[in-house]
Amino acid sequence: MEPQSLFSGFCSNSITPLYRNPQNPLSSSPPSLSYPCFNQSKHQVSFEIQYFLSSQRLRSVRRLLCKNSVEKVSNLVSEKEGSKSWVKRKRLAVFVSGGGSNFRSINQACIEGFVNGDVVVLVTNKHACGGAQYARDKGIPVILFPKTKDEPDGLSPDDLVKVLREFEVDFILLAGYLKLIPAELIRAYSRSIFNIHPSLLPSFGGKGYYGMKVHKAVIASGARYSGATIHFVDEHYDTGRILAQKIVPVLANDTAEELAARVLREEHKLYVEVTTALCEDRIVWREDGVPLIQSKENPEEYY
């Protein structure tokens, strides 16, 4: 069977720091916008500068992004090591709901040059989560999605697609994002959205299986092995095509916390490995629709 190469490419929000990442000169985030904002608590009121982009200011920022042609220089292609071929540096969007440890691993790998890409925007459903704060600290724009009672400034699915395209996002990486991805985004980024799950899918996946609930279910089942799975995202929870997996043992006296820590260590390594392959155009499709990763060392081998 002859595999066919996958190529994808597409071109902010409520609480969005828009400024260039000082640690990553290759990043091409949009320029900074700052507005004064009051923070009030029961004990004090403070005045500070916050960086944000509301949905109402979306149109003006689009004009600003169009003018910022100088930033395009950072999106120059990079040469494959040991090859005469050239691969465009990919632009990544990461979605998180919590601390974002996988997001941090991927971003650090980009900064250190292991990944031929840059995290250019973070999407979250919780503006105060650890992953969002890390993004702000690193100068990565933060988008709030979806719009809910708790997060009334979140974007609609259509506006989210528009903003991601304006950031020229090539691939979307879900890293502990607990909301179902809307059909509008699935259609706009077909075969370009990936998720990592803390079990060996298709076991212990689907709605309600997330975080510690997965590891408790694995231990209760008596399974001797668990692990991490990276899969393509479709319109359901954890049902997309499996791309890569890493296996870890389940020990006789494991607690859910111990198993979770063991799996998470493998998640960090696996997601960076897959993102590296993705940004080097090494994801291919078998004729029967199964995605494979092409070996960098031996292009005739797939796994």
Give the residue numbers annotated as catalytic, written as ranges: 197
Buried b (16+ CB within 10 A) or exposed e, 123-146: bbbbbebbbbebbbebbbbbbbbe
**Residue 253 corresponds to which tokens in the numbers above?**
């006296």
Which residues are registered as beta bridge partners of 50? 35
| Cα gap 199→285, rounded to integer Å | 23
Beta bridge partners of 152: none
C-alpha span between 12 and 293 (Å, rounded): 33
Instruction: Please answer whether residues 283 and 291 qualify as being in contact, where contact means their C-beta atoms are separated by less than 8 angstroms.
Output: yes
Nearest CA to 18 among 53, 66, 63?
Answer: 53
Which amino acid, 93? Answer: A
Q: Strand order in 193-197's β-sheet?
A: 142-144, 117-124, 90-96, 171-174, 193-197, 225-232, 242-249
Query: Can you tell me which residue has the tokens 């063991």?
Result: 262
Tokens of 73: 């220089």
Phi/psi for 248 (5° steps) reads -130, 150
